[in-house]
Structure 1
Amino acid sequence: MRSTLKMPKVGDAVDEVVINDIQAQIGARVVEGQTLFVVETDKSQIEIPAPFGGTVVEILIAVGDDVKTGAPTLVLEV
């Protein structure tokens, strides 16, 4: 089953972040809690972890993208 991960809310006053680094790769197996990508707000950098384990089948973001809370980011096969 495929599951599309969405950008979580990273702060009370933050509705959009910039993608700084993508650590997941297509075909890679990830485990719950593993960092998928790193985002930057105007105040800090935040690591976004996998909410559950699976295999990365699609990456819907790129480094430098502005991404809003709730936007699709990755697709995992679970």
Structure 2
Amino acid sequence: MRVKVVMPKWGTGMNEGTIVKWLKAVGDRVEAGEMLVEIETAKSTQEMEAPATGRITEILLAVGEEAEVRTPIAIIETD
């Protein structure tokens, strides 16, 4: 099953985020809860956890790209 990883909404004032660093690459295996990506918001930089266990099949936003909350940023294919 394909799981979309979406830009989180960490606060009421957060409308978008910028990818600072991917901690995993396409083809890497991730466990649910494992740190996946660093995202910068207007107020801070935070790490986001993988929402599912599986393999990263696509990264949809490169480092430095900005997206609105709830925009897909990666795809994880579950087992």
Q: TM-score, normalised by structure 2?
A: 0.91
* RMSD, aligned CA: 0.9
The answer (yes or no) to whether the contact 2:7–2:17 under 8 Å persists in 1 is no
Q: Secondary structure at the match of 1:20?
A: strand
Once superposed, which parts of structure 1, at least 4 consecutive aligned residues long, lie more than 3 Å away? Answer: none
Q: TM-score, normalised by structure 1?
A: 0.92
CA distance in 2, matches of 1:53, 1:12: 28
Q: How many residues align?
A: 78
Ranges in structure 1 where 5+ consecutive residues have no aligned partner? none
CA distance in 2, matches of 1:32, 1:3: 11
Percent identical residues: 37
Q: Secondary structure at the match of 1:46?
A: strand
> 1:32 is matched with which residue?
32
Q: Secondary structure at the match of 1:77?
A: strand
